[in-house]
């Protein structure tokens, strides 16, 4: 899953980014509203963390423009303001959730997990596919109750397919959502990660749809 953090405070931006990367996300960063708007407008993020008080273009204007342009990416707003009118303004602009500063990083992580679940139609923090269970809170994967050790990229790929279970996902889409902007992207590595996951989870968990991509489905639906 790929996220964007738009926050002008360098230290806070770094802290949020580090926490998200440690939680298994690919993360891009922006430090002002214009850069944030451009990235959110041109890159396919799964969710965005957006500060309201940004230079060059404030967060509310950025969000309003995204929504006018038809962008439906879930957005979590951060702001030092705590007046109820500011919260209403954020929600009316199209925000999906709202966290006032200062905050605990665990709250940011929990709210983003909830936004990502809702965006893909899941209610529980645990995603299931046959014997495979992915706990989004702990970043833990088990199969028939047995813990499976995955690399960060294997986990990202599985998490994306689990969130979009039953839908064919192309290699291009996986590349766009698994790697941050600065990563040297190569769609051929997706096949390598899929191969590794099949060895660890079972050959039939991830199905190849020739010419289209991959689909994750329970054995009875595969």
Question: What CATH number should be reported for the domain holding residue 38?
Answer: 3.40.50.2300
**Mean pLDDT of the chain, nearest integer:** 90
> 78 and 17: one domain?
yes
Find the domain containing 170 and state its range.
126-216
Residue ending a domain, among 67, 90, 119, is 119
pTM for this model (two decimals): 0.84
The answer to whether residues 130 and 114 belong to one domain is no
Residues 71 and 44 in one domain: yes
Q: What pLDDT is attached to residue 186?
A: 67
- The three-state secondary structure class of 143 is strand
Q: Tally the domains of the chain.
A: 2
pLDDT number for residue 131: 87
Let me know the angle formed at the C-alpha of 168 by 166 and 173, rounded to the nearest 5 degrees: 125
Query: Which of 59, 90, 119 is a domain's end point?
Result: 119
Say yes or no: 76 and 159 in one domain.
Answer: no
110 and 137 both lie in a single domain: no
Within this chain, do residues 106 and 15 fall inside the same structural domain, yes or no? yes
Q: 99 near 78, Cβ under 8 Å?
A: yes
3-state secondary structure of 76: strand
Do residues 41 and 66 touch, judged by C-beta distance below 8 A? yes
- Note the pLDDT of residue 26: 92
Beta bridge partners of 49: 5, 76
Task: Tell me, yes or no, whether 221 lies in a domain.
Answer: no
Show pLDDT as tens, one digit a residue, over the chain (222 residues).
899 999 999 999 999 999 999 998 999 999 999 999 999 999 999 999 999 999 999 999 999 999 999 999 999 999 877 677 778 888 999 999 999 988 999 999 999 999 998 888 887 888 988 889 999 888 899 998 899 999 988 999 999 999 998 899 999 999 989 887 766 666 678 889 999 999 999 888 899 999 899 999 765 544
Rounded to whole angstroms, the Cα distance separating 212 from 28 reads 27
Let me know whether 164 and 88 are in one domain.
no
- Which pLDDT score, from 0 to 100, does residue 88 have? 87
Domain-terminating residue out of 76, 92, 119: 119
- Please indicate, yes or no, if residue 142 is contained in any of the structural domains: yes
CA distance 57 to 48: 16
Rounding to the nearest 10 degrees, give the CA dihedral for residues 153, 157, 158, 159. 100
Predicted local confidence at residue 221, as pLDDT: 47
């Amino acid at each position: 899953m790929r996220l964007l953090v738009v926050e002008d405070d360098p230290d806070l931006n770094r802290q949020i980014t580090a926490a998200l990367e440690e939680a298994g996300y690919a993360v891009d960063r922006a430090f002002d509203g214009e850069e944030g708007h451009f990235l959110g407008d041109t890159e396919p993020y799964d969710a965005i963390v957006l500060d309201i008080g940004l230079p060059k273009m404030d967060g509310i204007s950025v969000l309003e423009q995204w929504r006018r342009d038809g962008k439906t990416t879930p957005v979590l707003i951060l702001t030092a303001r705590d007046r109820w009118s500011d919260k209403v303004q954020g929600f009316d602009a199209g925000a999906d959730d709202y966290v006032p500063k200062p905050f605990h990083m665990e709250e940011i992580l929990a709210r983003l997990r909830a936004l990502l679940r809702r965006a893909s139609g899941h209610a529980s923090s645990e995603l299931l596919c046959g014997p495979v269970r992915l706990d989004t809170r702990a970043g833990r994967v088990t199969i028939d109750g047995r813990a499976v050790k995955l690399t960060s990229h294997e986990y990202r790929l599985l998490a994306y397919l689990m969130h979009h279970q039953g839908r064919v996902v192309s290699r291009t889409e996986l590349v766009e959502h698994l790697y941050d902007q600065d990563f040297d992207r190569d769609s051929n590595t997706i096949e390598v990660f899929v191969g590794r996951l099949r060895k660890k989870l079972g050959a039939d968990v991830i199905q190849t749809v020739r010419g289209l991509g991959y689909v994750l489905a329970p054995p009875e639906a595969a």
